[in-house]
Amino acid sequence: AMTQAATGQSPRTPRLLIISHDVVGANMAGPGIRYYHLARVLTKHVQVTLAAPVQDEGTAATAAAGETPFAVTPYRRGQWETLEGQVAQADVCLFPSDVADELPQLAESRACLVVDGYDPLMAEWLALSRNARRRPEQVAQWRVDWHVRMEALARQYRIGDFFVCASERQRDWWLGLLEASGRINPATFDADPSLRRLVDVVPYGLPEHPLPPAKAAIKGVWPGIEAGDRLALWGGGLWPWLDPLTAIRAVAPLRGRHPRLKLVFPGTRHPNPTMAGMPNQVEAAKVLAAELGVMDTAVFFGDWVPYADWPHVLQESDVALTLHFDTVE
């Protein structure tokens, strides 16, 4: 900036490239929502481009139903040539930690690399792959896959110039990982004894604008759910580390005393086609609901709520719940 001022030039607005590994569009899961809003907030300060993966049908997801204040570009996961031009123009690249392995060429770029570690990938991988090791040969392959996963994750600790995560507890986890990888050393400690210049917290936020006017999204809209019913909302997917079956077992005996109680699982089909094969408990939950006689009477399953409708779903819900098994995830 001083050199530009001396030559009479205006300082150039820094260029930030955010790389999402999940779809960004009308239907989004947690990662897509996080990177969409990071782009939305940061575009007030820097020139932002959000890179979103191309979906299976070959069309890029758009960042929202309407226009966005930042540029959106498609790319193909793991294919460097589809993103190389955008990286070459960027001063800073922010990306989820798995991208460090999918695009190792990032390490050779001139951009400052910010690794987002809000998603505990090893903990999730262990839970997702747990049922795939029932026979001895499967256990052997599982160990091989674990070693590959470890090597993939290790690249992120080396590639990052700066790391962010979503909570102080996650930051403790990251400090341990970075210490084990040699990133907490005399140089990083001398630069900042608090190590906030190495890893800091960027939590999930809340939009600064007020909620929109209430509108029916489930009550009186979904068959079997009336406007006067009491809605219990399950807040996410049905992944192996969650316990939707206990929620269903709790609702079943309450039907007699609370006939208007309706438990809703609004998201059973992930908007990212590449996630379709991930282990989940959707079928087990539906089978249990049918066995207990509460399917489509007290327990309801939806595909995926459009992101624009989510505020309305929250406003009309009476109870929100999420149950977790006691796992490291």
Tell me what the pLDDT averaged over the chain comes to. Answer: 89
| Cβ count near 298 (within 10 Å) | 23
The answer to which of 144-153, 281-290, 307-316 has the lowest mean pLDDT is 144-153
**Residue-level pLDDT at 132:** 65
In the 8-state DSSP scheme, what is residue 208?
S
Q: Which residues of 151-190 are buried (b: 16+ CB within 10 A; e: fewer)?
A: ebbebbbebbeebbbbeeebbebbbebbeeeebbeeebee
For residue 310, give the nearest of 207, 182, 241, 238 by alpha carbon: 207
228 token code pair:
């006067």
For 279-295, the pLDDT digits (tens) are 889 999 999 999 999 99
194-236 tens-digit pLDDT:
999 999 999 988 888 888 999 999 999 999 999 999 999 998 8
